[in-house]
């Protein structure tokens, strides 16, 4: 979607103002986050969600690999359907959904209640998926 140049400049100016008001690592993280092509993360009622500019298969594979790295024993036979896939294991609930275009959404919940620990686990999983997708060669 294209926005008028004035709106683009306003958004850029707002990001720069925030970056200047923030110090050190936080400013660097903000700049990296602003440059990324991945959607924003939201956390509501013990569920963290992130959208990715990647196909369902790529995002599914990155999610499964990251969960395995986190210590979850996920069967290699587990797969997604034509529009989504679901992983439920040891208190973890992860859904990977196809969106219009070349977009996917990953929804994550750890445990039953909203806690700092479950939020941190969800954030680590989504950061790992992001890193794996950034390393993956782009598909045509």
* 84 CB burial (10 A radius; 0-12, 13-18, 19+): middle
Per-residue pLDDT at 5 exceeds 50: no
Average pLDDT of the segment spanning 16-21: 46
> Is the pLDDT confidence value at 41 over 60?
yes
Q: What pLDDT, on a 0 to 100 scale, did the predictor assign at position 126?
A: 97
pLDDT reading at 18 higher than 50? no
Q: Which of 31-40, 74-83, 123-132 has the highest mean pLDDT?
A: 123-132
Produce one character per residue of 127-139: b if its CB has 16 or more CB atoms within 10 Å, e if not.
Answer: ebbbebbeeeeee
- Alpha carbon distances (Å) from 57 to 81, 93, 102, 116, 125: 10, 18, 11, 30, 17
């Amino acid at each position: 979607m294209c926005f008028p140049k004035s709106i683009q400049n306003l958004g850029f100016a707002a990001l720069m103002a925030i970056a200047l008001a923030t110090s050190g690592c936080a400013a660097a993280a903000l700049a990296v986050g602003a440059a990324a092509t991945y959607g924003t993360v939201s956390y509501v009622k013990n569920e963290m969600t992130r959208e990715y500019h990647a196909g369902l298969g790529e995002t599914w594979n990155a999610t499964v690999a990251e969960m395995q790295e986190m210590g979850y024993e996920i069967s290699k036979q587990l797969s997604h359907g034509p529009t989504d896939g679901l992983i439920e294991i040891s208190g973890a609930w992860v859904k990977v959904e196809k969106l219009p275009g070349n977009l996917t959404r990953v929804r994550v919940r750890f445990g039953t209640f909203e806690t700092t620990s479950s939020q941190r686990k969800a954030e680590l999983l989504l950061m790992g998926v992001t890193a794996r997708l950034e390393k993956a060669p782009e598909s045509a």
